[in-house]
Structure 1
Amino acid sequence: MINAADTAFILAAAGLVLLMTPGLALFYAGMVRTENVLATIMQSLIMISLISLEWVYIGYTMSFGPDVGGVIGNFSHFALKGVTNAPSSEYATTIPQTVFMIYQCMFAVITPALITGAFAERVRFAPFVGFSVLWAIFVYNPVCHWIWGSGGWLGQIGVLDFAGGLVVHATCGMAALAAVMVIGPRKGYGHTHFMPHSLPMTMLGTGLLWFGWFGFNGGSALAADGVAATAFVATHLAGMAGMAMWTLMEWVKIGKPTTLGAASGAISGLATITPAAGFVGPNSAIFIGLIAGVVCYYAVNFKAKMKFDDSLDVVGIHGVGGVTGTLLLGIFASTSVNPGGVDGVIAGSFTQLFIQMLGILVVCGYAFVVSWIILKVVDMLIGLRVSTEEETQGLDFSEHSETAYN
């Protein structure tokens, strides 16, 4: 039966997750140059309409429709056919299926928006739109079904992902890596120092993302219960621990802590706790956040040595964070925290760690290869990059005939 408290909680959580997309837009926009602010915001903001439409007609049914061979959902829910205010016996038994659908829609919206940070300041809007829709169809929807869909094959073998370490962060991280390799660096990369134009804007975006993450992770319990409380607490503790560790790392390495480093550390902790949030206790969440601060800090700095122009550190923070958190789930998870979960290495079982490793290999490999193919096809058909002159002029004017600051 429908529970009013659970329904209200998930509706609020859906709103919080939606807020993350404009929050991400501000987070990214503050780190680009003045002439690319609006284009960067637009790349995140347009996902709200673009992917919501895709979700209504084919995304939801591909992800959560009746299973076909463990690989994909069938099209029985095309255009939300049969998605009613009655609860779903497969996914959420105490809330209307419409509520579950719209909550999951917000996850689908923000995931391709996360990828945009990798190729900021150099991609044309039209091919970007085409890539995003194709990516949602051929990467996000299948992986979502594999792990979260009823009958999905990775879920059937025991791969766990509480709120999107694999489904969201690993997939977007691998897509970002493929994009960096296909599109290439910005003009002047390696010689020009690309300074963030507004770190206060980035800090505002960080706050909105952190706030929204409580809905992202807490709402993934799909009920206003103890698991939601566990995830809510773990989310905050990992975020603050990631911020503290990244700040400390900078202080030791370069002699001064930075606001950008604090923001990056917070997002690292939040991304890394995402797959494990509902399965670990407070102290484990703090350890995961501290580990995230170290691992993601080195991952972001490693990109410079590899000469990869991942403009806004999508691979180092979201990709590496999602993978790290998925592994750490297999170490820190405990049924004493969540009886519906599993025991990890610390609780005496190595089995889940190996299952998580398999999930990482499959999802990362699939997401990278398919993303690379989509990027190559779009580039071949209509071209991904702006011209050198347009890149110098800035995408705000060349792609949108606007300027952020007059």
Structure 2
Amino acid sequence: MRSDCEEIPEGFTKEQADRAETLEAAALSQKPAPDGQPRLLVAPNCQVYWPAPYEVCGAIRDKYNELGGPNSFLLLPNSNELTNPDGAGKRTVFMNGPIYWSASAGAHPVVNSFLNRWGIHQYEAGWLEYPTTDEIVLPDGGRRQEFQQGAIYVAFQNAIGSAIQNGPLRDKYNSVGGLTPGSSFLGYLTEDHKRTLPDGLGQMARFQNGVISWHPTYGAWPITGSILNSWEFSGYETGSLGYPSSDQYDENGQPAQVFQHHVVTVERDYAQPNPSDGTAARNNGQIEFYSGDEYRHNVTRGEFGARRAADGMDTRLLTLDWSLSEAYILTKAAYGLNTKKDCVAYSFAPGTGRFLFKDNSERHKNLSITYRYHLAPTGHDDNKDYQMMMGCSFENKTRQKAGNGTLAYGITIAEYYMTYIFRIR
């Protein structure tokens, strides 16, 4: 026997290796095995791969051989061909994963992160159903695998995968480069597609650089950047904006987007690192706050101020105020100073896109022109960079975005950005 003169690969016993050799011989002769052994006949269209005593058959065998058989990433078989719970599909398990077959989708291996995510969704019995492709290596090194009702994406080899369902939301993703996420402004999925939102109507998928939201009436649209921040802060689709109903577009050099209840436009202003009053230290464009330091900056919409608490208090307390000019408000508010105004402030670590803290006071609506915030952020660390954004919105005249028939109240998000760092003296 081969096992007497060849080393048996790890994971198999001499008994299994000898049985595999007997099966191979029976497959070649299609006659009963030698005397003293069980009478074995290998099924037609099946093959045995020593030292694994299992039959690999039909289309699964053909796929396995196409991939390189025992020399492929799958290594040796660990089972005979199995019938799936649906009574129609087949699978064979190998040392590094299975190959699944169905009459409509063919035979394809599903391994590693793809197998894990597919299993979370109940394999072929779940909403993804059977695989229709092998793993597809993408230009940037990421991967995706197609299934009958969707796809699984992996941003890099062996990363955690995320699944997306076929349909209008995925069609929108594909239209902006979703088949090769490295070339899409949205990037890769970061969590599974939410196929049902709390209202029972909409869907949402989150990506590295934004989201796509879909509603059967308003369609599927990406939301990114500052407009996404505003939508998130307002409560997503359940908030004052509702669902998106257009792509982002350019309005006078700034991003704008139509939502179910409002048109959102964005205006930005950035703190300069060298104000003339000399308060607070400056370093590489950052504003450095030591305890007790104050910083004031004139912006096109008014005056911004920030002060770090003095020694003896919680030195992570940052007090912010933003005095908006009456002229600016009048240009944005169609109905004068009594028009509803809604100002918020939040901070996040640059590059993460995630909030570290938000305004912990009540939302500032229908107040005077000066808005003051007292923020006690949890998780601020000395000598670590942060970015803060303050924004105010104003209801404007009802208007119609050409082409989609959506009536909406215009909202301008007047934003102010500042990159800052807390220092220990």
Category of TM-score, reference length = shorter chain? under 0.3
Greater fraction of residues in helix: 1
TM-score using structure 1 length: 0.25
Computing the radius of gyration from Cα coordinates, the structure with the larger value is: 2
Higher strand proportion:
2
Larger RCO (CA within 8 A; separation ≥ 6): 1
TM-score (norm 2): 0.24
